[in-house]
Structure 1
């Protein structure tokens, strides 16, 4: 039987900060979106590292899942002229490169599982994009059918997918989500630099258009830099926003917008793959007390030991 304190000291004294730094630098030096070549390379790196360090039962498990990938020229957010024939302003969309490219390119900004589409509609600001936020707009008599929603991350609806779903349920044609400085930007301080069954190939699966959990409107993420322009263009439309709806974007008067707001175009063309292969790497450390611990866990009705 091992002394737990001796084990703790053994592990703690062998932690190498420089090795951790090198590993992190390596794993973040190339793009590795799920299902891509970079993802597979990362999976094999982890697999080989586990084997090199003598882990027990190192294994690779494959899954087949629905994924979408952004196209270089497939994403557009524009404010259109009154006749909708030309763009008065276009969002930059991409973040500024701060880390320096070491392999390939910076990943394009996009939302996983967003619906592809090219839609236009008046811009309406809806705070955090919760169902209660959209209800407040409806209670004010603001028509949201066919409009483009502008909402911010975090807040009363923390889940990004549910923000877009709530916008869809409220009748919006598209949804734009931005990071507000009041929630995770310069107002918070200086930024740091830094259910069902397994989705196996042979298992039954629903068609994408049958899956109620997926949204059916396009959406895209933007920075507050682009949201500022959009918010400024709906000043005077709809109603002034209450204090709880006002974020930290500077030089904005905070109006809700309405059906008469400037028209915004949201385009999101993407590559979809209904059965994209992804990988999980597993390794096991067998302990000398494992059998005894497993017996204790089962005796308590908690078969959770692996």
Structure 2
């Protein structure tokens, strides 16, 4: 009985072994593309790619991109559009294809013929002090007439006047605290950047009856306290100079404000401008800290809390409201004359593609915005300079037949980013991907905004 059991086990083992051998040699190894899909990273390719990257070319890219101011939809912006198209369509080291994608977007600009003004005026409306309308130029390129006046994009136009108060960072808690000490109705609030979004400083102020808002960058927050352009700030270092003003978009939401959740094409339905939410309901204007110093150090009233104090060599008071009777601005008001205007304009994304060899309908998106408030050497052109060099190296390898990615790579040079990530937001709102015949199965998105803020970009 035991002998029969042993023989049975041996026969079963032999049969199992024969089955494994037959299975090993008889089963297909799979489709021909399977090895490509499962292939590990080619370290030799990465080494070759890095060896091809030319830092001098990155430098020249940066020089070309920052030649002139290129605010969204301006002539300077169109010049950068043509640069991107020329490079990405180059026969020797361009991409497989490149094109421009137009959107009709709602933007906000100052009136070039009627600049915004902020003044201190006495009871007879005599001007006691005028805020700089443009920054002090240190080099010839800063004298370019296309350098836009500092302004708050999407601030409403308006003419308001009132006693000045200091509201720290313009947070809801700041206005609540300030309102316990000062009647804010009809006042002008001066705030510093930080703590709350740009537009939120005005949105938070309006419920308290504030008529207008000024915003500045305190040297304590960005300059390590340094204030003098004689030997401390730019042009002697990277610190913001006294007249320097941070421009920006003062809206809360991203993308075109008239076409939420829809791509801003010519035929797209647009909401009425009065239905836009998340933008300042009262005039707001950015100024330099040299002017903020003059205003804040003349304020009357109680001393602001310790946490509200900044770099100026004076006590930051809350305002009486208004100025000290012993100051040069006694019994004076701050007057804001804002002439911003909104307009729908064409803004272009420049798109490029390297088609994948194995899974062309799956792709990685690499993008960087192109527009800037002025010359944009760091934000965004440092990133775009790197992106152009990456596409040059990869494009040349593709053209020479040396390499092609497994998945497609789509490159995006976004327009109108400074106005609220408009170019990239509109791209994502396009429902159909028919422009490059791809179906979205998966997407990895890289935003190369500024080279110096990305640890892995050199």
Say which of 306, 309, 318 aligns to 1:243.
306
2:199 is equivalent to residue 137 of structure 1: no
Residues 361 and 441 in structure 2, CA contact (< 8 A), matched pair in contact too: no
Pairwise mapping of residues 88-107 of structure 1 onto structure 2 (< 5 A)?
A: 88-101=128-141, 104-107=145-148
Partner SS state of residue 281, structure 2: coil
Report the alpha carbon displacement of residue 56 of structure 1 after superposing the two structures with TM: 2.5
Report the alpha carbon displacement of residue 260 of structure 1 after superposing the two structures with TM: 4.5
CA root-mean-square deviation: 2.7
Pairwise mapping of residues 46-125 of structure 1 onto structure 2 (< 5 A)?
A: 46-52=84-90, 53-72=93-112, 73-81=114-122, 83-101=123-141, 104-125=145-166
Report the alpha carbon displacement of residue 278 of structure 1 after superposing the two structures with TM: 0.8
2:70 is equivalent to residue 37 of structure 1: no
Q: How far does the alpha carbon of each residue in 1:36-91 deviate from its partner, in whole angstroms, 9 at most, with x for none?
A: 2221221121122111232123121111122122234421111111x142111111
Matched with 1:269 is: 339
Report the alpha carbon displacement of residue 293 of structure 1 after superposing the two structures with TM: 6.3
2:51 is equivalent to residue 13 of structure 1: yes
C-alpha distance 228-46 of structure 1, shift in aligned 2 (>3 A): same
Residues 115 and 133 in structure 2, CA contact (< 8 A), matched pair in contact too: no
C-alpha distance 147-84 of structure 1, shift in aligned 2 (>3 A): farther
2:326 is equivalent to residue 286 of structure 1: no
Matched with 1:219 is: 284
Say which of 176, 192, 195 aligns to 2:238.
192
Equivalents in 2 of 1:302, 1:169: separation in Å? 46
C-alpha distance 302-248 of structure 1, shift in aligned 2 (>3 A): farther
Residues 93 and 223 in structure 1, CA contact (< 8 A), matched pair in contact too: no
Partner SS state of residue 168, structure 2: coil
Equivalents in 2 of 1:231, 1:93: separation in Å? 19
2:319 is equivalent to residue 257 of structure 1: yes
Equivalents in 2 of 1:304, 1:276: separation in Å? 29
Moved over 6 A (4+): none
Residues 78 and 266 in structure 1, CA contact (< 8 A), matched pair in contact too: yes
Larger Rg: 2
Pairwise mapping of residues 173-212 of structure 1 onto structure 2 (< 5 A)?
A: 173-187=211-225, 191-192=237-238, 196-212=261-277
With the length of structure 2 as denominator, give the TM-score of the two structures. 0.59
C-alpha distance 278-202 of structure 1, shift in aligned 2 (>3 A): same
Residues 30 and 38 in structure 1, CA contact (< 8 A), matched pair in contact too: yes
C-alpha distance 305-243 of structure 1, shift in aligned 2 (>3 A): closer
Residues 67 and 272 in structure 1, CA contact (< 8 A), matched pair in contact too: yes
Unaligned runs of 5+ in 2: 1-35, 227-231, 241-259, 324-331, 364-406, 408-439, 446-458
Report the alpha carbon displacement of residue 130 of structure 1 after superposing the two structures with TM: 0.9
C-alpha distance 290-98 of structure 1, shift in aligned 2 (>3 A): farther
Unaligned runs of 5+ in 1: none
Report the alpha carbon displacement of residue 193 of structure 1 after superposing the two structures with TM: 8.1
C-alpha distance 268-136 of structure 1, shift in aligned 2 (>3 A): same
Higher strand fraction (1 or 2): 1
Equivalents in 2 of 1:268, 1:293: separation in Å? 48
Partner SS state of residue 189, structure 2: strand
Report the alpha carbon displacement of residue 104 of structure 1 after superposing the two structures with TM: 3.9
